[in-house]
Each structure stands twice: as structure tokens, then as C-alpha cells.
Structure 1
């Protein structure tokens, strides 16, 4: 009796299941176009196409000897402004308040100048925003870059994390939901893969009347494409 009930339940579920055809392309889960925010002459290029980089790793450096010198001057100025301020703190109660405020101002101003000079120096070092791989390099040592005309110098993408960008007919906009399974094959392969829809785009593509969705995966070459079916449920759509 229980066996018959189980078979009947499976039949009901299968009748409720709905398969939605979808095509997809493979994109990196993270990608970015990188450029300097300040101008100058490129002193060193530290990576090439295919280089694996960590978050915060330097990729290229502008000539910055003048800014390093300015930073050293700011550090020295702060050092002595702090000493003078600390001496005045010891006699604060017996000196003119306006005079004490002048020393406090010089000390705070010196700290602000140091932060400013450090920020200028930091802008001459282009760093990776996340762990990934460089897949495009458009700069060499000696190139001139301009902060007023920012151009992409490197393109980076996540090393392993990928996402499938699905497209399916708009008529299924009520049926497909986040969490639905996606069974798919890559073009030219027989192997079948499975994933789960993690995001559905909120608008319909006006040209082809398609809806887009995302499925996260790993270690598939960016740019590949394929087809598959979204396994959804008519019951859930009602």
C-alpha cells in the first residue's frame, strides 16, 4: 500500500514539474576595468596577462619620487609639531590660551597634511580590488596616463568563480523562481551539469522578450555557451 502511495505521489509531482528551455553564456562572477585615478608616467608594470593576483596586490606604479619626498617632509613636520604641542600641554594652564591654540592647530594641520600626502602617494600605485586573474593588459613602462582622461589599463576577473547568464522566454515570468534547479550542457559536450538559480533579473529584455537569470558555478572557461532546462513547479507558480 505504501509503495503504491509513493509511486502515485511521484507521478503527481512529475506532472506538476515544468521544464523551461534556456540558453546561457558563461561570465566571471567578478570582473573589473582598472585604471589610475591620477596622472603621470608609468614607472613599473608588475603583472602580465594570465598573472594570478591577490586582493591589494600592486599591479603598476607611476613615477612618484617627488611624492615620496613630500611625504617624508610631512612626516618630519608632524614629528616636531607633535613634540612642540606636547611641551605646550605641560604648561597649558600658565600660557595664553590663544597661543596654545596655535600649537594645537599646527599639530592638527601637520597630521592632516601627512594623510593628504600619503593619499597622493597611494594613488600612484594601482592595486587589485580582489583575488583574480589579469586577462587584459594595455599599459607598458613609460606610458603616460592622465587623471583627466581615465583609460582602462588592466581587466581582471575572478579566478575560479563563474556565473551562467540564462535567457528564457518571458511567458515563464511567473513560473521560474530563485532556487529552481537548472540542468545544462556546454556547447560541444555531452556531460550534463546541474545548478541552482540564484538571481532573476527584474526586467524583460525588450529586443527578444527574454528574461535573464543567474546560476553560480566554478572553473568553466569564460565565454562558453550552452543550453539547458529550468526545472520549476506549476504548483508554486499558482
Structure 2
């Protein structure tokens, strides 16, 4: 069988029937840019670059004494509005409907105000959206945050989960299927890894005539690149 030798970035694979050459970049499976959705002065910064965080963990917080006071006030108003409403429910049949509706309106308004002030208070805390590791930080205690102009202060990515974003010639788009094996090397390494195609993008790049696909991986450094072969037929 005649074999075609194809190389990229110093790596070489010999292709035969049932194999498709592909290059790839390593990306985090999850990645997000984080910003405060409120304005104020940064009071605490709890993490730094390379720190591992859990979903919901507070990464930083704004000075929030005013927001906390408003929240406590709203809780008190809601508490007594609820008590009034519950008392009126017990004698609903003995009072005028409009009078009962007035208590119901007061109760519902107090509940809505409490929800609103709670949301404002919550926005003074910036929390991790998922388990991951911080790889970018641009915030310090004392910084002023402008709620009208969102600015990324942290970037987070999944700690272990990675995806290889593959590119291969569009003429093979009918041959490559989800579930196909992908044998690959990282640029500069000799180790051959094996993965499985988990996703094929439903669009060919009109500029380079390439189709993209994904392979799940773990613990590779984000930003690495390499090449390999997609096995499209059983051997």
C-alpha cells in the first residue's frame, strides 16, 4: 500500500486508507470571563492566579454596607406585611374584599421588594460559576468597579477537562463520524495519545475549507497544539 507522508510542526504521521489527517489546538472544556454586575469599591479579593475554586465560592466582594442595610430593612417590612396578610386570611369572609386586597397587595409588594434588594446585595459578591482554576486576575482591594461598564476581573477554566478542537479537510466531511478514534501527538512530544471524536461542527470554514471536530481530553495545558490521524474505518 502506498502511503502518503504528511508532517506539521515537526510531527509526522503516515496515512493509509481509512485515515484522515487533522491538526488541533487544546482548549479548556469550560472557560468563562467574570465581571461584577454592580458598581462599588472592592473590599476583598479571595483568590489569585492558579488557585483552584469550587462552584459558588466567593472570588471577590464589594463594600456592601448600604446594600446590607437595605436588605435588612426589606426583611423587616416583609415580615410584618406577611403577618398582617396571614391575620386577614383568617377573617377573609368577615371583611370587605377591597380591604383584604389591600393587605394582599402590601404583602406581595413587600415580597417583591425583598427579592429585589436581595438580588442587589448578591451582586456585591462575585462567585465561581463552576469548579475550576483561575488563570487571569485583574482586580485588587480598593479598585473601583463601574457597574455601567462591565470589566473582566477574573478568567476561569475547568481544571482537568480539556477539548481538542480539530481541523481536517472538508472533502472528508462524510467520512468522519462521532465515535471515530483520533491518534495524536502534542507538538514537541513523542507520546501518542488516543481519543474519540465527540462532536463535529455543522459548518465548513469558507476561508480555509476546513471542518472542525472535538475530542475530549484531560490535564493537557491549554494552548498546546499538535496533529494526528482520525481513524474512519475499523482496522
Relative to the length of structure 1, the TM-score reads: 0.88
Higher deviation after alignment, 205-214 or 122-131: 205-214
Which protein has the larger Cα radius of gyration, Structure 1 or Structure 2? 1
Match for residue 108 of structure 1?
108
CA contact (8 A) 1:35 1:126 kept: yes
Q: Secondary structure at the match of 1:233?
A: coil
Offset of residue 17 of structure 1 = 4.6
CA distance in 2, matches of 1:76, 1:86: 16
Aligned 1:198-217 pairs, distance under 5 A? 198-217=198-217
Q: Deviations over 1:101-124 (max 9, x none)?
A: 111211111111111110111111
Higher deviation after alignment, 172-181 or 68-77: 172-181
CA distance in 1, matches of 2:19, 2:202: 21
Q: Secondary structure at the match of 1:199?
A: strand
CA distance in 1, matches of 2:52, 2:70: 33
Q: Secondary structure at the match of 1:75?
A: helix
Aligned 1:102-181 pairs, distance under 5 A? 102-181=102-181
Aligned 1:8-87 pairs, distance under 5 A? 17-87=17-87
Q: Deviations over 1:45-101 (max 9, x none)?
A: 111101101111111111111010001001111111122222222332222222221
Report which of the two has the higher share of helix: 1
Instruction: Identify unmatched segments of 5+ residues in structure 1.
Output: 1-15
CA distance in 1, matches of 2:126, 2:17: 51
CA distance in 2, matches of 1:219, 1:129: 20
Relative to the length of structure 2, the TM-score reads: 0.89
Matched, 1:185 2:190: no
Q: Deviations over 1:155-179 (max 9, x none)?
A: 0000000001111111211111111
CA distance in 2, matches of 1:22, 1:210: 10
CA contact (8 A) 1:17 1:231 kept: no
CA distance in 1, matches of 2:128, 2:74: 28
CA distance in 2, matches of 1:105, 1:146: 35
CA distance in 1, matches of 2:161, 2:89: 56
CA distance in 1, matches of 2:94, 2:21: 84
- Aligned positions, number: 219
Matched, 1:93 2:119: no
The two structures, once aligned, show a CA RMSD in angstroms of 1.5
Q: Secondary structure at the match of 1:116?
A: helix
